[in-house]
């Protein structure tokens, strides 16, 4: 059975444990990249990553962009929304559909 993880700073992710997600604390780029690789090579189908952490490991995240699993989804952390999660969803939709059907810009 596939699992779901959430990565980021402790304050941003620990509430997700109550919903059954696996919290993975990571704040430094090298540590986060290693943990992402480990999760991606395991039975994790979805990995949520805080936007702030994702900005530190963009190249590592890009390695999984064309793979069916895991699906990596950016979420805001306690520091707020940077907009990178929304941009990521928009790029994914455009790549899958061929045009922007959600935001219409």
Average pLDDT on 15-30 reads 95
Number of structural domains the chain divides into? 1
Residue 100 covered by a domain: no
**Total-model pTM:** 0.82
pLDDT number for residue 82: 72
Q: What CATH number has the domain bearing residue 16? A: 3.40.50.10580
Residue 88 maps to a domain = no
Asked if residue 54 is part of any domain, the answer here is yes
Residue 8 to residue 47: CA distance in whole angstroms: 11
Work out the angle at residue 34's Cα, subtended by the Cα atoms of residues 29 and 35, and round it to the nearest 5 degrees: 100
**Residue 46, in any domain of the structure:** yes
- Does the residue 23 lie in any domain? yes
Q: What is the pLDDT of residues 79-102, one digit of tens each?
A: 777 767 667 666 666 666 666 666
Q: Residue 66 belongs to what domain range?
A: 3-80
pLDDT for 105 beyond 60:
no
- Give CA–CA dist 82/85, Å, rounded: 8
pLDDT of 31: 97
DSSP, residue by residue, the chain: --EEEEEE-HHHHGGGGGGT-EEEE--SHHHHHHHHHHHHTTTEEEEEEEHHHHHHTHHHHHTTTTSSS-EEEEE-BTTB--SHHHHHHHHHHHHHHSS-SSS--
Tokens of 45: 């189908």
Q: With respect to residue 9, please indicate whether it lies within any of the assigned structural domains.
A: yes
């Amino acid at each position: 059975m596939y699992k779901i993880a959430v990565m980021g700073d402790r304050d941003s992710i620990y509430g997700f444990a109550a919903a059954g997600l696996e919290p993975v604390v990571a704040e430094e780029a090298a540590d986060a990249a290693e943990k992402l690789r480990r999760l991606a090579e395991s039975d994790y189908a979805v990995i949520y990553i805080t936007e702030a952490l994702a900005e530190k490991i963009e190249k590592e995240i890009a390695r999984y962009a064309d793979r069916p699993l895991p699906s990596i989804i950016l979420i805001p952390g306690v520091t707020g929304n940077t907009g990178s999660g929304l941009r990521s969803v928009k790029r994914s939709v455009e790549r899958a559909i061929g045009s922007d059907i959600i935001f219409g810009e």
